[in-house]
């Protein structure tokens, strides 16, 4: 294509691209061409500076290509992670119960309390995702080690809690020793793996969903003897 200087205009005006087709590369080239058109003929741009700008363009291309590859790797990694998570189904799992999600129709849950020492007072406090307390279970006094307790899936009003994310706080104290370390755990067979709307991958115990990071141990369920 032959480029000619107009009487009052630049040598060449690149066509304006539709907004949806513009990229960083397009914008960079338009700026570079405009700079060349409007430079002083008696004092043209230094060659080294021009080469540096071309190198910058190359860096933009490399950056975009890198981003595309990273997105591909991320998608591939998510697929592999989800496939690996499917192996949890049918496994016997012990998991930390400090965070969980509820699905519809929450039911009773059997849990384990693990205390670092004897406690004269133990309370299990459940908070919703805003941090508001929605239920409190008074376990009274408990000895050191593990003991069982249950939560019926309801809130303070006795109605089932709505689906959503919740956290569990254990408040354990000894009359003379003060605060006692404590945590709640859940045990059972994982019956599902679910992919939530926010992109998380979680495994299920009935109406509960837990993060894979909460797993403390897992074992294969032994087949019954024929």
Structural domain boundaries in the chain: 1-37+50-69, 86-220
- The predicted-structure confidence for 157-190, as pLDDT tens digits, reads as follows 888 899 999 999 999 999 998 999 999 999 988 8
Residue 57 Cα to chain centre, angstroms: 34
- The predicted-structure confidence for 106-155, as pLDDT tens digits, reads as follows 778 899 999 999 999 999 999 999 999 999 999 999 999 999 999 988 99
- The predicted-structure confidence for 46-97, as pLDDT tens digits, reads as follows 555 655 665 665 666 666 666 666 665 454 445 555 556 677 788 889 999 9
In the prediction, which pLDDT does 25 show?
58
CATH code for the part of the protein at 86-220: 2.60.40.4070
Contact 119, 174 (CB under 8 A): yes
Residue with tokens 């019956």: 191
The end-to-end CA distance of the chain, in Å, is 83
Give the H or E element holding residue 100: strand 99-102
- DSSP annotation of 18: P
Residue partners of 60: CB distance under 8 A and separation at least 6: 24, 25, 28
């Amino acid at each position: 294509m032959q480029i000619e200087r107009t009487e009052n205009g630049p040598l060449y005006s690149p066509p304006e691209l539709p907004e949806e087709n513009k990229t960083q590369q397009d914008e960079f080239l338009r700026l570079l061409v405009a700079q060349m058109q409007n430079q002083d003929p008696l004092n043209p741009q230094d060659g080294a500076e021009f080469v540096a700008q071309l190198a910058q363009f190359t860096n933009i291309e490399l950056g975009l290509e890198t981003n595309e590859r990273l997105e591909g790797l991320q998608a591939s990694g998510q697929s592999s992670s989800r496939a690996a998570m499917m192996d949890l189904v049918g496994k016997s799992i012990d998991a930390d119960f400090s965070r969980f999600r509820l699905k519809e129709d929450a039911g009773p849950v059997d849990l384990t309390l693990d205390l670092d020492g004897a406690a004269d007072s133990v309370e299990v406090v459940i908070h919703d995702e805003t941090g508001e307390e929605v239920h409190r279970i008074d376990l009274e006094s408990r000895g050191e080690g593990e003991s069982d307790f249950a939560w019926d899936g309801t809130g303070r009003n006795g109605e089932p809690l709505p689906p959503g994310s919740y956290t569990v706080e254990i408040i354990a104290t000894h009359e003379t020793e003060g605060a006692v370390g404590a945590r709640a755990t859940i045990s059972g067979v994982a019956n599902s793996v679910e992919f939530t709307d926010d992109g998380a991958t979680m495994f299920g115990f009935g109406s509960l969903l837990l993060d894979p990071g909460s797993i403390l141990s897992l074992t294969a369920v032994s087949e019954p003897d024929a």
